[in-house]
Amino acid sequence: NAGVTQTPKFQVLKTGQSMTLQCAQDMNHEYMSWYRQDPGMGLRLIHYSVGAGITDQGEVPNGYNVSRSTTEDFPLRLLSAAPSQTSVYFCASSPRSAGGDTQYFGPGTRLTVL
Amino acid sequence: DAKTTQPNSMESNEEEPVHLPCNHSTISGTDYIHWYRQLPSQGPEYVIHGLTSNVNNRMASLAIAEDRKSSTLILHRATLRDAAVYYCILRESGNTGKLIFGQGTTLQVKP
């Protein structure tokens, strides 16, 4: 049971490039989410999904797309990278969207946009 | 989205108890109170959560005020490994289930 896995661990992009951050969980969780964390700040919610085929926006969705075609995977796409998207990105999952459910976080992807 | 307020930082001595406060005056009746902590260069990890009653687990205790407008995370004996940023978060029940993080409290533990 690997929990929540994220790839890559580190990535450097040039402005305007696109890429996909991968997130997978093997716990059969319905709920998955993406956060970004800027230096010295708390986490901010980008997008979330309450189940396969269902996604919604969080606090800071601009510049990012998501899709959820399977229960296991929740990729985050940067359409045209900007320096303001330099951050650490965390993926998380929980059994459902219930208030009492615990979220499990991945180890993060550190992204630098030049 | 419900918000929480925590002190920016706190200090503790090793092997002493630590009480980390959190105010959440706009909490709704179905919001759960969650605590997560984040060690340097790691993702957040779950500590404890509760709805109305006080809760205990192997990591910590959670004391919830009777009116639910505040709560306190209690680490019974702080160790150097407990130095981290502690986040108090309200998790919405229902369709969204969003976790909205605040700034958290940076806990320093002195030997």
Residue-wise pLDDT for A11-70, tens only, equals 999 999 999 999 999 999 999 999 999 988 889 999 999 999 999 999 999 999 999 999
CA B99 – CA B91 distance, rounded (Å): 5
The beta-carbon neighbor of A106 closest among B43, B100, B103 is: B43
pLDDT tens figures, B36-79: 999 988 999 999 999 999 999 998 999 999 999 999 999 999 99
A104 interaction partners in chain B (CB closer than 8 Å): 46
What would the mean pLDDT of A67-83 be, rounded to a whole number?
Answer: 96
B45 interaction partners in chain A (CB closer than 8 Å): 105
CB contact under 8 A, B97 and A96: yes
- Dihedral sign for Cα atoms in the order A96, A88, B3, A102: positive
Q: How confident is the model at residue B95 (pLDDT cuts 50, 70, 90)?
A: low
